[in-house]
Structure 1
């Protein structure tokens, strides 16, 4: 992210923060979105959708990066904010504005549906506006393709009720809140479209309640009140969008030619949704020749048309006994508690109800699976980070356990191409995350080691060889999966100066900061006792775990002194502490100046990796791994006729030393650090910088 200047916060949600950003040396502005790592599956889906759809009313996507705690998306900057903010300011819009805005939204949604994509979370906060008031549809974290739904249903039929139960209740169609089986469809998106148009005209969604039970009951059984001041055409469009039976809801051909738009809008053929029809049959529908569903679920071929005739409801409506409002509330409440949501969002008055803070509240109705999905199986190393802000600001660092791969730059060339290939491979392997597991007797079991692998027999070698978790870039220094974390303790009494906290150091003026660092320099560089120097280094290491401080310290004379001392001392404990401090600085720094390569840091760490002490080799290999990963991600690129000489040089001996560590005679922890270094580099499509004698 050091290729961008980050400015003020322009948006914030439960799991994300959006900043205004500018690419360096340009006047191009972007929306830089920081998302909690727990949302990784949804971000992968959003990236996949944004890659596949290019439309003037769909938000532009440029790049994405991954760190230990967060995912970062570089998106089109929408200076107009979102529709939710606009409605909170103006409360409602005139019908002429709704007409113009609605056509843009309709165009974006139709583009999705014609490409076989269901949005699944259409609501005002996911609709943004550019400087000209043009609609930009975003928020594709819950979006699904018809092909994905079919694939997952064929491999695991129960997925219809295990994976589709997340959304914003105020905008969810009745069929999504009914019974044990639900399936997002084009029809459910049309319901949400009606909710948004209604909210623009009235100032709130058609059904609103602070009680989830009351809200779901109203959506299922009450009719929408349409204000009499709306035009006849607008009232008719809304009425048809709000048909509770999806097979009677207005279809795309009628939407695009509806009189409210005053002209016929371009229509593209909509793919068939066979799985949706199966779900409707399971909920009590039977095949007939009714016209309502055909316009939306038109078969692609005539043969399919004979097989998937339109469905009409038995007795005029779905079986109401399928609805289980209390069950949905209990599941949603349980998921809120498991997510660590403030209990102010959970009703204390009724154990079976959930309090909704706003119409934009998103809930998860997914019942807990017996097996943990692959993306959730291994939590982030940084979950215990001491950072006070769960959504990291790139100007404030990434917390103690954050990774360093934000050094990736969105530029052309081999590095960017390699990253893109890595992303594409990860997205294409997402099907593996949804595989089910059964015991030997055919019954579901709770133990992950009692898995039936029969479902793997039909998979090809590519699916078996690659998995989305292969591309996770994890930290090297401080990685608790490699080595138990060791806290370097220090004693304030032993320090020959008054210690300050990290925050206090960052608030010092330039003169005071230089004076403070000079004292640390003299303490560590002096010939005082080993214990006194170790204590000072342990204290100093705590100041390095923030990107702002790391950027200052690594580009100061302190690093040059640490490198010199690392090469010169023969005391194993001092070598260990120097390697620890150097590695921590490299890990958290987002900018390393041109003077650092001149310090001989690569040679010094390479020599320490060959040290007799096992602990010294471990810390040195971790630090060297962090540095090599940084070198690979920072390979110089040609920019508009300007070619710079590479600042880094990786000697042959360094590469040879790393590969020699892979022999059986080496300490397993040091080997693990070496392998993790190679894994991180290759996972981003790098490795060119590791060819002997190259930069």
Structure 2
């Protein structure tokens, strides 16, 4: 006798297959039973998080950051649910997967395609910076694509808020992925979060247009030296406009590195440019983020 399959639910969400897994989190496909909308459900073990202070701080930061952001090129946070043992972060489902998979599958992109992704990336990064949010781990693995091929920034676990800057107005935590990190981040001298994020955007643009990274070496010290000296070679097939923009972004001196207003005025960047159109979200409250970590018997719903 076949037993009927039990459909697991979390609140109003019908939970489906696993689509991603990490040490502390599992991501499952889910569907909003009321609207039929697909979502990604990030499931975290509360006990594991409470035993790992660094990871719990990272998750609190991710939730706080995503509450502040409402942009069409950033993965949207819908709500957070909590039970006694689990935390459920309900996110926009990006059915196109990671940009890194597209690069691995297709190799280098044509300039028009790379430019479109880069325009959306700069739109989103500029918006995040206007909200006092610095991502600090921008790379193709953290850029997702929706069903229409639009880029969505994800994974704000290493992000910083402007209020975390020291008395010198700079951030001091070395973090991110070395190949995409700015020289000043690796130099441990303090850095401006916005300028450092733009360097990572430049590395991503280079990778989109060439199919490989500008800075690579199996020896970490050699890699750091290459990044600090901005030692890389632009492929011969890049147009002068693309090459010029990359050179201006991958400037190892953060004070002379190109800023967003200048990027927006760059001739190569401006071709077929469509600014993002969206409505601002009301000012987010961050004082309830701690609630989902409490050892509550009752399922707590925390709506955005």
Alpha-carbon displacement from aligned partner over 1:33-56 (angstroms, at most 9, x marks no partner): 124624221121121121111111
Shift of 1:25: 4.5
SS of alignment partner, residue 238 of structure 2: coil
Alignment partner, residue 175 of structure 1 = 184
Shift of 1:9: 2.2
Query: In the aligned structure 2, how far is the partner of 1:120 from the partner of 1:191?
Result: 10
Alignment partner, residue 192 of structure 1 = 200
SS of alignment partner, residue 48 of structure 1: helix
C-alpha contact 1:174 1:219 (8 A) present in aligned 2? yes
SS of alignment partner, residue 43 of structure 2: strand
Alignment partner, residue 245 of structure 1 = 253
Alpha-carbon displacement from aligned partner over 1:222-270 (angstroms, at most 9, x marks no partner): 5221111001110001011100000111111210011112347769xxx
* 1:61 matches 2:77: yes
SS of alignment partner, residue 32 of structure 1: strand
* 1:203 matches 2:203: no
Shift of 1:128: 0.7
SS of alignment partner, residue 226 of structure 1: coil
Alpha-carbon displacement from aligned partner over 1:364-416 (angstroms, at most 9, x marks no partner): xxxxxxxxxxxxxxxxxxxxxxxxxxxxxxxxxxxxxxxxxxxxxxxxxxxxx
* 1:212 matches 2:228: no
Rate the CA distance shift 1:201–1:17 in 2: closer, same or farther, 3 A. farther
Query: In the aligned structure 2, how far is the partner of 1:35 from the partner of 1:139?
Result: 14
Query: In the aligned structure 2, how far is the partner of 1:29 from the partner of 1:684?
Result: 19
Query: In the aligned structure 2, how far is the partner of 1:160 from the partner of 1:251?
Result: 18
Instruction: Choose which of 270, 274, 294 in structure 2 pairs with 1:473.
Output: 294
* 1:234 matches 2:242: yes
C-alpha contact 2:230 2:252 (8 A) present in aligned 1? no
Shift of 1:426: 4.2
Rate the CA distance shift 1:22–1:424 in 2: closer, same or farther, 3 A. same
Instruction: Choose which of 22, 25, 30 in structure 2 pairs with 1:16.
Output: 25
C-alpha contact 2:230 2:251 (8 A) present in aligned 1? no
Higher relative contact order (CA closer than 8 Å, sequence separation 6+): 2
Alignment partner, residue 446 of structure 1 = none
Alpha-carbon displacement from aligned partner over 1:604-632 (angstroms, at most 9, x marks no partner): xxxxxxxxxxxxxxxxxxxxxxxxx34xx
Matches within 5 A, 1:488-499: none
Instruction: Choose which of 17, 36, 42 in structure 2 pairs with 1:33.
Output: 42
Alignment partner, residue 124 of structure 2 = 108
Instruction: Choose which of 119, 138, 141 in structure 2 pairs with 1:125.
Output: 141
Question: Please, which runs of 5 or more residues in structure 1 have no aligned partner?
Answer: 268-420, 428-467, 476-628, 634-682, 686-695
Shift of 1:105: 1.2
Q: How many residues align?
A: 278
Question: Please, which runs of 5 or more residues in structure 2 have no aligned partner?
Answer: 1-9, 277-283
Instruction: Choose which of 41, 46, 62 in structure 2 pairs with 1:46.
Output: 62
Rate the CA distance shift 1:471–1:57 in 2: closer, same or farther, 3 A. closer
TM-score scaled by length of structure 1 = 0.37
Rate the CA distance shift 1:67–1:215 in 2: closer, same or farther, 3 A. farther
Alpha-carbon displacement from aligned partner over 1:610-668 (angstroms, at most 9, x marks no partner): xxxxxxxxxxxxxxxxxxx34xx4xxxxxxxxxxxxxxxxxxxxxxxxxxxxxxxxxxx
Alignment partner, residue 111 of structure 2 = 95
TM-score scaled by length of structure 2 = 0.82
Query: In the aligned structure 2, how far is the partner of 1:59 from the partner of 1:684?
Result: 20
Matches within 5 A, 1:475-624: none
Alignment partner, residue 74 of structure 1 = 90
Instruction: Choose which of 163, 171, 185 in structure 2 pairs with 1:147.
Output: 163
Alignment partner, residue 7 of structure 2 = none
Alpha-carbon displacement from aligned partner over 1:550-608 (angstroms, at most 9, x marks no partner): xxxxxxxxxxxxxxxxxxxxxxxxxxxxxxxxxxxxxxxxxxxxxxxxxxxxxxxxxxx
Shift of 1:17: 2.8
Instruction: Choose which of 256, 262, 265 in structure 2 pairs with 1:254.
Output: 262
SS of alignment partner, residue 255 of structure 2: helix
Alignment partner, residue 138 of structure 1 = 154
Alpha-carbon displacement from aligned partner over 1:412-443 (angstroms, at most 9, x marks no partner): xxxxxxxxx9x83244xxxxxxxxxxxxxxxx
Shift of 1:92: 2.0
Shift of 1:60: 1.0
Alpha-carbon displacement from aligned partner over 1:461-498 (angstroms, at most 9, x marks no partner): xxxxxxx4x763327xxxxxxxxxxxxxxxxxxxxxxx
> As a proportion of its length, which structure holds more strand?
2
C-alpha contact 1:209 1:215 (8 A) present in aligned 2? yes
C-alpha contact 2:134 2:197 (8 A) present in aligned 1? yes
Shift of 1:20: 0.9
Shift of 1:215: 1.7
Query: In the aligned structure 1, how far is the partner of 2:246 from the partner of 2:29?
Result: 36
Larger radius of gyration: 1
SS of alignment partner, residue 425 of structure 1: coil
SS of alignment partner, residue 230 of structure 1: coil
Query: In the aligned structure 1, how far is the partner of 2:292 from the partner of 2:287?
Result: 9
C-alpha contact 2:28 2:42 (8 A) present in aligned 1? yes
* 1:424 matches 2:286: yes
Rate the CA distance shift 1:684–1:18 in 2: closer, same or farther, 3 A. closer
Instruction: Choose which of 74, 79, 84 in structure 1 pairs with 2:100.
Output: 84
